């Protein structure tokens, strides 16, 4: 029986119980979000194929394969190690998500060789595909280790925005004109501003369809329609949702997530900017956790009736 963490950082029992059927952000994936990852990953594979073929010669390709094996081995070892230490269960998923994603900053910072950078890109792209195929909703760089280790630890990913949006649409019982309009606009904006830029980095596709398929950034404001609709649903059902954990309040979560996506989608900075936000949030949560640790220990000692040492 394995135990990971839920959205609040508590242990999640993976045994076959009714509670295990609850959708957990950062662990589970719906059908639409799964295919969104797969198709995005396939486009990324095509883009990488042309980029690597142009950037690396035969010897560098061999080094890229070596670096890929090293990266996969290190991530697998780190995730296995932390999974064996009980005291890390209960740590907020934001912290390991940030720490596991930090090595990917080597690429934009220009640290390391070209084969290593390409190996990191291939490793992340493979992770996106594996998350879609294996229906794992966690961080992409952890997908291969999770598959090898047979685990599904909660870790946050940019693609969780798709997970949240899908769940919000799926769980809405009144599927009228506003539901259909909001769904159509959301799908249109996400495909246009999440996929198209990457699609145009594949030379044959760019030659075939040209830049005309890329719309100006202000079209992303169409996303404000589903934002307003989800916000209205959250306000109307606030009494019902108040009894649920934060990670299960789907309309409110979808409204917030889609609103936050508007500027990043408009500037075509997804999913890269979202990985950066996850790292920043994880580091902030980690710092707050460290600051609060002495006070938590003192509180625990008082609860068990042990006087603090001087």
pLDDT at 295: 65
**In the predicted model, what is the mean pLDDT of residues 136-150?**
95
Q: Structural domain boundaries of the chain?
A: 31-290
pLDDT at 13: 38
Given a cut of 60, whether residue 305 has pLDDT beyond it is: no
pLDDT at 234: 93
**In the predicted model, what is the mean pLDDT of residues 220-226?**
97
Query: How confident is residue 59, by pLDDT bands cut at 50, 70 and 90?
Result: confident
Residues in CB range of 186: below 8 A, 6 or more apart: 165, 169, 223, 226, 258
- Percent pLDDT > 90 in the chain is 58
Greater model confidence, 109 or 8: 109
* DSSP secondary structure letters along 15-39: SSSGGGGS--TTT---HHHHHHHHH
Q: Residue 177, Cα to own-chain centre: how many angstroms?
A: 30
Greater model confidence, 30 or 309: 30
**In the predicted model, what is the mean pLDDT of residues 248-269?**
94
pLDDT tens-digit profile of 70-126? Answer: 999 999 999 998 877 655 567 889 999 999 998 888 877 778 888 898 999 999 999
Given a cut of 50, whether residue 20 has pLDDT beyond it is: no
Q: Give the integer Cα–Cα distance in Å for 268 and 109.
A: 20
pLDDT at 19: 39
pLDDT at 296: 64
Angle between helix axes 224-236 and 177-190 (nearest 10 degrees) is 130
Given a cut of 90, whether residue 256 has pLDDT beyond it is: yes
Given a cut of 80, whether residue 175 has pLDDT beyond it is: yes
- Percent pLDDT > 70 in the chain is 86
pLDDT tens-digit profile of 237-253? Answer: 888 888 888 889 999 99
Given a cut of 70, whether residue 7 has pLDDT beyond it is: no
């Amino acid at each position: 029986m394995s135990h990971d963490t839920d959205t609040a950082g508590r242990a999640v029992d993976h045994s076959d119980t009714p509670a295990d059927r609850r959708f957990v952000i950062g662990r589970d994936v719906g059908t639409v979000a799964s295919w969104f990852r797969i198709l995005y990953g396939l486009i990324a594979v095509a883009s990488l194929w042309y980029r690597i073929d142009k950037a690396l010669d035969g010897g560098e390709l061999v080094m890229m394969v070596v670096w890929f094996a090293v990266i996969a081995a290190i991530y697998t070892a780190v995730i296995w190690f932390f999974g064996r230490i009980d005291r890390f269960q209960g740590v907020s998923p934001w912290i390991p998500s940030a720490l596991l994603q930090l090595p990917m900053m080597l690429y934009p910072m220009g640290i390391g060789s070209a084969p290593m950078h390409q190996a990191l890109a291939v490793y992340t792209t493979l992770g996106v595909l594996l998350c879609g195929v294996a229906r794992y909703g966690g961080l992409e760089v952890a997908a291969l280790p999770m598959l090898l280790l047979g685990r599904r630890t909660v870790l946050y990913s940019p693609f969780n925005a798709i997970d949240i949006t899908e769940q919000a649409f799926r769980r809405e019982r009144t599927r009228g004109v506003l539901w259909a309009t909001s769904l159509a606009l959301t799908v249109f904006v996400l495909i246009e501003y999440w996929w198209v830029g990457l699609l145009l980095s594949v030379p044959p596709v760019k030659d075939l369809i040209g830049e005309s398929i890329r719309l100006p950034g202000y079209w992303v404001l169409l996303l404000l329609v589903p934002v307003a609709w989800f916000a209205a649903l959250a306000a109307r059902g606030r009494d019902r949702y108040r009894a649920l954990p934060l990670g299960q309040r789907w309309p409110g979560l979808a409204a917030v997530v889609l609103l936050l996506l508007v500027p990043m989608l408009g500037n075509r900075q997804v999913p890269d900017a979202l990985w950066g936000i996850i790292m920043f949030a994880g580091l902030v949560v980690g710092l707050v956790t460290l600051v609060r640790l002495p006070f938590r220990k003192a509180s625990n000692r008082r609860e068990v009736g042990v006087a603090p040492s001087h």
